[in-house]
Structure 1
Amino acid sequence: MKTVLVDQSDITRARVTEAPNDPLGPGAARVRLESFALTVNNVTYAATGDVLKYWAFFPSGVEGQGIVPVWGTGVVSESLCDDLPEGTRLYGYFPMAESAILAPEKVAEGVFLDRAAHRAELAAVYNTYSVVRGTPRHEDHLRALLQPLLATSYLLFDWLMDNDWFGAEQIIVGSASSKTGLGLCKFLTEPKDRPYRIVGLTSAGNRAFVEGLGACDSVLDYDEIATLERVPSVYVDMAGNAEVKARLHTHLGDALRHSAAVGTSHWDKFAPPQDLPGPKPQFFFAPSQVAKRREEWGPGRIEAQITAAWKRIAADADTWLDIVTHDGMDSAPALWADLAAGRTSPRDGHVVRP
């Protein structure tokens, strides 16, 4: 089995390693991956792998080398689980590898949880696998590329709404060209009587792309932060660029009502929390909002809203997303290096077919 290992001390470096398939234990199932997405979101998993335990989902057993989780579709190629026969196709959270071993437990029709002991204390949303039937490959690719990212976008939107937008007159979305960023911008346009303006922050090279989405009231380069209006504001930071955050906090000061840290697409410019003017940045962890809504609304409702939401945004994905496929695990390290170094286009959605 081929697996991609990422250097935990320099996450731009990745290599393919090969090892025999481990035998299945009682009740286990082996899933052979058909395809998986690679996005900047996966780079964020690596950049925050120790703090948020992303390295713990699929232990590599190699000191200093980690296996990055990916979202994708696979088929059960071997099974000792009565509820999950061979040939079943699953969508979910897998290692960047040709196959994975799960300890599946059926929890609802078409839904399984991985009950592996080492995953028991990890976020349950990542341990859930859904049966997929008869979906075309294009739909599989869109799901892997967009569902995890747009789910986070929607949960951010739901959380902001849940907090009455923190009284903001403008919501500033950093790294608005990222798929999570553009998804949030699009969801923020949906309320008919929204009390806020949507401002997208992006690099000069991606400005035309963000403007073309039509989801922001205005789009600014990072160099234009000083032109932001000093009105009650929320900053949603997808990039994790410490210098950009410091300039924005310094400019807005007490006008900034909340500063949310979501991603680290600019992971190489990340820095530990600093003493900044305005509110202290707080990390947004999407599974926490899922857990809150499950407790308030009961099981299933927030999941249904997330599914409907990401499909709304994905409906016109062909106008702003180009799916680029890569064949074989040996193609993954070079693609990973490009993603980690920020050398990919925001229009491109990369899918690896092992």
Structure 2
Amino acid sequence: MKRILVDQNDITQVAVDEVPSEPLADGQARLRIARFALTANNVTYAATGFVIGYWHFFPSGITGQGIVPVWGFAEVVETRSDLVTVGERLYGFYPLAEELVIAPTKEGEAVILDAAPHRAKLPPVYNRYVRSAPKSATQEGLQSLLQPLLATSYLLSDWLQDNSFFDAEQVVVGSASSKTGLGLCKFLAELSPRPVRVVGLTSSGNKPFVAAEAGCDAVMSYDDIETLEKCPSVYVDMAGNAEVKARLHSHLGDQLRHSSAVGTSHWDQFQPKQKLAGPKPQFFFAPSQIEKRRADWGPGEIERRISAAWKRIAADAESWLTLREHAGLEAAVPVYTALAKGQAAPGDGHVVVI
């Protein structure tokens, strides 16, 4: 089995590795990974691998080398479990590799959980695998790309509403050209009447893209942070760029009601310990909002709303997303490297087929 290893001390360094496929024990199933997406979200998984725990999902067994998780589809090719059958297609959280062995347990008719011991204490949302009806390659590609990112976007929008926008008048979305940032802007733009002013913050090169697609009230480049209106604000940071964060905190000061850290795609400009004006940034962890809403609304309702929401935003994806398909696991190496180095175009959506 081939897999891609990432240097945990320098996440731009990757290598293709090959190990024997492990034999199945009773109750296990082997999934052949067929299609997955690569986005800046995967860079965040690597950058926060120790802090958040993403390296623990698919341990490599090699000190200093990690396997980055991806979202996509796999097919059951061998099973010693009565809960799945050979040929079934499952959507979920996979290693950057050719296969995964899971220990299926049942969660309703459409969902199974991986009960592998090393995943028992990890967030359940990442351990769920959904049975998939037949889909086209494009449909699988869009789901792999957009469902996890737009789910986070929707949960951010829901969380902001749940907290009455922290009594702010404007929400500043950092790295608004990222798919998660763009999705948040789009979900906030749906609210009518709009409760807050939405400002998309991005690079000067990506400003036209965000202005055309995000539905923001205003789009500003990082160069213009000091001209941002000083009023009660929330900052949602998708990139983790320390310089941008420091400038924005300094400019808004006490007017900043809340600062949320979501992603670290600008991992090379990330400083976990910063002395900042205004409130201390707090990490937004999407599974926590899912668990809160499960308690508020009952099992299944937040999942239903997320599903409807991401499909609604994805319905016009052809206008703002170019699907780019790559063949073979090895093809993931240059795609991941470009994402880790910040060299990927915001309108491209990369899907690897193996």
Does TM-score exceed 0.5, indicating one fold? yes
The answer to whether the 8 Å contact 2:183/2:214 transfers is no
CA offsets, 1:131-151, max 9 Å, x none? 001111111110110000000
CA offsets, 1:63-103, max 9 Å, x none? 11100000010100000111201000000000000111011
Partner of 2:76: 76
Shift of 1:275: 2.2
1:218 correspondence with 2:218: yes
Partners of 1:9 and 1:232 lie apart in 2 by: 38
Partners of 1:222 and 1:214 lie apart in 2 by: 17
Q: Which amino acid in 2 is paired with 1:32?
A: R
Shift of 1:331: 1.1
Shift of 1:195: 2.4
Shift of 1:257: 0.6
The answer to whether the 8 Å contact 1:13/1:333 transfers is no
Partners of 1:199 and 1:214 lie apart in 2 by: 10
Partners of 2:88 and 2:316 lie apart in 1 by: 29
Partner of 1:10: 10
Please give the residue correspondences for 1:142-291 in structure 2 after superposition, counting only pairs within 5 Å: 142-291=142-291
Task: Quote the RMSD (CA, aligned, Å).
Answer: 0.7
For the residue of structure 1 that corresponds to 2:78, the secondary structure is: strand
Partner of 2:50: 50
For the residue of structure 2 that corresponds to 1:189, the secondary structure is: helix
The answer to whether the 8 Å contact 1:91/1:132 transfers is yes
For the residue of structure 1 that corresponds to 2:207, the secondary structure is: helix
For the residue of structure 2 that corresponds to 1:62, the secondary structure is: coil
Length, aligned pairs only: 354
Partner of 1:88: 88
Partner of 1:138: 138
Q: Which amino acid in 2 is paired with 1:82?
A: D
The answer to whether the 8 Å contact 1:33/1:97 transfers is yes
Partners of 2:110 and 2:21 lie apart in 1 by: 26
Partners of 1:17 and 1:36 lie apart in 2 by: 18
Q: Which amino acid in 1 is paired with 2:81?
A: C
Shift of 1:273: 2.8
Q: Which amino acid in 2 is paired with 1:289?
A: Q
Shift of 1:221: 0.6
Which ranges in structure 2 are unaligned for 5 or more consecutive residues?
A: none
CA offsets, 1:100-136, max 9 Å, x none? 1011111111200000000000000000000001111
Q: Which amino acid in 2 is paired with 1:261?
A: A
Which ranges in structure 1 are unaligned for 5 or more consecutive residues?
A: none
For the residue of structure 2 that corresponds to 1:159, the secondary structure is: helix
Partners of 1:190 and 1:89 lie apart in 2 by: 33
Partner of 1:300: 300
The answer to whether the 8 Å contact 2:182/2:214 transfers is no
For the residue of structure 2 that corresponds to 1:264, the secondary structure is: coil
For the residue of structure 2 that corresponds to 1:150, the secondary structure is: helix
For the residue of structure 2 that corresponds to 1:154, the secondary structure is: helix
Q: Which amino acid in 2 is paired with 1:104?
A: P
Partners of 2:110 and 2:170 lie apart in 1 by: 41
- The sequence identity of aligned pairs, in percent, is 62
Q: Which amino acid in 1 is paired with 2:65?
A: Q
Please give the residue correspondences for 1:21-40 in structure 2 after superposition, counting only pairs within 5 Å: 21-40=21-40
Shift of 1:343: 0.8
Partner of 1:59: 59
Partners of 2:36 and 2:240 lie apart in 1 by: 25
Partners of 1:332 and 1:187 lie apart in 2 by: 30
Please give the residue correspondences for 1:301-340 in structure 2 after superposition, counting only pairs within 5 Å: 301-340=301-340
Partners of 2:284 and 2:145 lie apart in 1 by: 21
Greater mean alpha carbon deviation, residues 244-253 or residues 185-194: 185-194
Shift of 1:215: 1.2
Partners of 2:60 and 2:182 lie apart in 1 by: 33
Partners of 1:221 and 1:60 lie apart in 2 by: 40
CA offsets, 1:222-254, max 9 Å, x none? 010001000010000001001100000000001
Shift of 1:214: 4.4
- Which TM-score applies when normalising by structure 2? 0.99
Shift of 1:189: 0.8
Partners of 1:291 and 1:152 lie apart in 2 by: 13
For the residue of structure 1 that corresponds to 2:82, the secondary structure is: coil
- Which TM-score applies when normalising by structure 1? 0.99
CA offsets, 1:191-228, max 9 Å, x none? 11122111000011111110110411111110100010
Partners of 2:330 and 2:25 lie apart in 1 by: 29
For the residue of structure 1 that corresponds to 2:190, the secondary structure is: coil
